């Protein structure tokens, strides 16, 4: 018996849940869990269906194509472990959290490699017996450096690329190479305080909450579809440095949670927003 996840994204119409579940029944598949949502403004239907049984993927998808409205998107993916490559610079907290949760089985993921533009986190990565590659940007222009990083990423053929405090802005060419496969953690509650030094921006604005945002990377800096966010309270006694220190715990938690949601196929991209089944 196999377990797979059926992901359906299509124009809304009457009877979609019945049509999809009846096709699953026709194929003698057991529905373990089902989640659905309708975006009434966009008239768009989303459904995530966990299935168990003996699959004939081609026939199942063909039956769905016959039943679903024009413009429907459907995917059938294997449940289970996905493969990631993590990009880092010098900050350890987000990488360390993913490494530890993977080691403990809290996140079901294969960390194929960690790539850094410095070697500062090589020792930490090595403690978990995961390959670390330093791809320095010294003496290279942005295009040359990104090409070297991409070659290293592609050698591992990951499902997703995770920016765990990778402090370099990616070019459109890099982003296009991994569409909806790059996940970033931004140390701010977006859309506030976009770009560099957001904790200083927050401090100067006198905010009473600070947070972190995990999102898919697009060509628009820090404006890709948001996967997960969280906040903590601060007050007038917090300096910018104290805010940054407090924010690190939020950052690592939000990134790990977002990663878990994506790896479990619980996230649909809906324009510049997401539908997240938790």
Give the mean pLDDT of 253-277. 96
Strands (E), 99-238: 109-116, 132-134, 160-163, 182-186, 209-216, 226-233
Lowest mean pLDDT among 60-64, 204-208, 228-232: 204-208
pLDDT at 104 over 80: yes
Last residue of a domain, one of 32, 53, 78: 78
Please choose, from the candidates 189, 193, 191, the residue with its C-alpha nearest in 3D space to the C-alpha of residue 209. Answer: 189
pLDDT value, residue 187: 79
Q: Does residue 68 sit in the same domain as residue 177?
A: no
Q: What is the pLDDT of residues 41-65, one digit of tens each?
A: 999 999 999 999 999 999 999 999 9
Domain span including residue 127: 82-276
CATH code of the domain covering residue 239: 3.40.50.170
Last residue of a domain, one of 78, 95, 114: 78
Bridge partner list, 4? 51, 78
Q: Does residue 152 sit in the same domain as residue 177?
A: yes
Q: Which two three-digit tokens encode residue 273?
A: 């927003």
Q: Does residue 180 sit in the same domain as residue 162?
A: yes
Q: Say how many domains are in the chain.
A: 2
Catalytic residue among 9, 63, 97, 222: 222
pLDDT at 227 over 80: yes
Please choose, from the candidates 16, 81, 71, 82, the residue with its C-alpha nearest in 3D space to the C-alpha of residue 49. Answer: 16
Q: Does residue 117 sit in the same domain as residue 179?
A: yes
Q: Does residue 101 sit in the same domain as residue 71?
A: no
Please choose, from the candidates 250, 133, 236, 239, the residue with its C-alpha nearest in 3D space to the C-alpha of residue 186. Answer: 250
Q: Does residue 198 sit in the same domain as residue 241?
A: yes
Of the ranges 137-141, 199-203, 221-225, 258-262, which is most confident? 258-262
pLDDT at 13 over 70: yes
Q: Confidence band (pLDDT; 50, 70, 90) for 112?
A: very high
Q: Does residue 45 sit in the same domain as residue 179?
A: no
Q: Does residue 70 sit in the same domain as residue 89?
A: no
Q: Does residue 224 sit in the same domain as residue 236?
A: yes
Q: Count CB-CB contacts under 10 A for residue 130.
A: 17
Active site residue 230: no
Q: Confidence band (pLDDT; 50, 70, 90) for 29?
A: very high
pLDDT at 191 over 60: no
Q: Does residue 137 sit in the same domain as residue 272?
A: yes
- Using CA atoms, how far apart are residues 251 and 93, in angstroms rounded to an integer? 8
pLDDT at 196 over 70: no
């Amino acid at each position: 018996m196999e377990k797979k996840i059926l992901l359906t994204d299509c124009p809304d119409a009457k009877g979609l849940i019945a049509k999809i579940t009846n096709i699953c029944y026709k194929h003698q598949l057991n529905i373990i869990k089902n989640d659905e949502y309708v975006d009434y403004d966009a008239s768009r239907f989303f459904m995530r269906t966990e299935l168990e049984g003996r699959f004939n993927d081609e026939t199942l998808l063909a039956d769905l194509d016959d039943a679903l409205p024009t413009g429907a998107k459907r995917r059938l993916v294997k449940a289970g472990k996905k493969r990631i490559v993590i990009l880092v610079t010098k900050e350890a907290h987000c990488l360390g959290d993913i490494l530890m949760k993977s080691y403990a089985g809290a996140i079901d993921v294969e960390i194929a490699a960690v790539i850094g533009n410095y070697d500062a986190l090589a020792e930490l990565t090595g403690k978990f017996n995961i390959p670390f590659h330093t791809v320095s940007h010294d003496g290279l222009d942005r295009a040359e450096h990104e090409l070297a990083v991409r070659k290293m990423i592609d050698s591992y053929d990951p499902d997703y690329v995770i920016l765990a405090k990778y402090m370099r802005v990616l070019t459109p060419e890099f982003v296009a190479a991994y569409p909806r496969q790059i996940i970033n953690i931004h140390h701010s509650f977006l859309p506030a305080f976009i770009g560099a030094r957001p904790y200083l921006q927050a401090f100067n604005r006198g905010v009473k909450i600070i947070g972190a945002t995990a999102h898919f990377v697009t060509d628009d800096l820090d404006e890709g579809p948001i996967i997960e966010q969280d906040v903590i309270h601060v007050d007038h006694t917090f300096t910018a440095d104290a805010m940054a220190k407090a924010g690190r715990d939020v950052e690592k938690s939000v990134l790990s949670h977002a990663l878990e949601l994506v790896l479990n196929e619980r996230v649909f991209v809906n324009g510049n927003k997401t539908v997240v089944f938790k």
